[in-house]
Amino acid sequence: MTQKPIALITGGSQGIGYASAVALIEEGFDILSADINGEGVTKAAKELNALAGIECDLGDVAQIEAMFDRIAKDHGPLSALVNNAGVAMPGDFLTYDLADFERVLDINLRGVFIATQRAARMMVEAGIEGAIVNMSSINAQVAIPAIPAYCASKGGVMQLTKVAALALAKNNIRVNAVGPGSIDTEMMAAVNANPDAFKTAMSRTPLGRAGTAQEIGDVVGFLCSKKASYITGETIYVDGGRLGLNYTC
C-alpha cells in the first residue's frame, strides 16, 4: 500500500487551521496538526483521524525545532506545510507594548520562517516536490492602526513567501500564501459581537458577507495539490472583493 503524503498544519485546533486540514484530507494527505492549545489540537486530531496532534508554541524556537525533530523521527518527511498559526494583539499605536509587538512577530513571522526552513530541508533531503502555504492577510496590503504588529508581520509573510519560492524553485518546492479578508473565525469574534463594527466591516466587503473558514481551507487545499503545480510565489487574496476597494480602516 502506497503511503499517503504528510501535511503539517500549524494553528490546527480550530478555525482556518482545522478547515485546511479537512481540505488536505480530501486532497489525499495524512495530517499532522500543531497548536499551542494542547487539549484542543488533540481533540481536533482525533476528530480528523490525524496522525497526531502536537502541542507547540510557534513563537518558541526550541519548541518548533523539537516538533520537527519529533515529526522526522515518528512520521518521516513532510510533503506539505501550512503555516497558519497566528495572533493579532490589538492596541493603540502610541502606547503599543514592545513585548506584544515582539510576540506577534515571533509567532507570525519568525515562526513561519523556521517552520518553512525545517520543512523545506526535509523535502530537499527526501527528494519531495512539496508545497508550503503561508497564511498572510489582506493586512499585508492595507493597514489598520489598531493592529500594527499584525500588519507588519503579514507584510513580512508576503515577502518571505516570495523569497522562499525563489530559493526553493530549483527543488520544485512551491511556496504560496493565502490572504484572508473578514472571515468568521475566533479572530473576528469581537467584530461579530458589535453590530456597528460588523456593519462597517461588511460595508467594505463587496460580496456583503464574512467568509467562512472552509472557503479559506479550500484554497489552501488547492495550493497544496497538483492542480496548482505551476503556481509559486503568489499570495491569493480571499476577501470578498475588499482589495478592489480603497478602504483601509
Catalytic residues: 150
pLDDT score of 249 = 47
| Domain membership of residue 179 as a residue range | 6-237
CATH number at residue 51: 3.40.50.720
Q: Residue 2: is its pLDDT beyond 80?
A: no
Q: Residue 1: is its pLDDT beyond 80?
A: no
In angstroms, the CA 105 to CA 41 distance is: 22
The answer to whether residue 43 is domain-embedded is yes
3-state secondary structure of 137: coil
In angstroms, the CA 9 to CA 144 distance is: 27
The answer to whether residue 41 is domain-embedded is yes
Give the pLDDT confidence of 174-212 residue by residue, as tens digits: 999 999 998 887 766 666 666 777 777 777 888 988 899
Give the pLDDT confidence of 100-155 residue by residue, as tens digits: 999 999 999 999 999 999 999 999 999 999 999 999 999 999 999 999 999 999 99
Give the pLDDT confidence of 26-59 residue by residue, as tens digits: 999 999 999 999 999 999 999 999 999 999 999 9
Buried b (16+ CB within 10 A) or exposed e, 4-32: ebbbbbbbbbbbbbbbbbbbbbebebbbb
The answer to whether residue 136 is domain-embedded is yes
DSSP annotation of 78: -
The answer to whether residue 245 is domain-embedded is no
* Predicted model pTM: 0.94
Strands 174-180 and 30-35, sheet pairing? unpaired
The total number of structural domains that make up the chain:
1
Give the pLDDT confidence of 216-233 residue by residue, as tens digits: 999 999 999 999 999 999
pLDDT score of 202 = 76
The answer to whether residue 244 is domain-embedded is no
154, 212 Cβ separation under 8 angstroms: no
The answer to whether residue 150 is domain-embedded is yes
The answer to whether residue 248 is domain-embedded is no
Q: Residue 86: is its pLDDT beyond 50?
A: yes
Q: Residue 240: is its pLDDT beyond 70?
A: yes
The answer to whether residue 223 is domain-embedded is yes
Least-confidence region, from 87-91, 186-190, 207-211, 239-243:
186-190
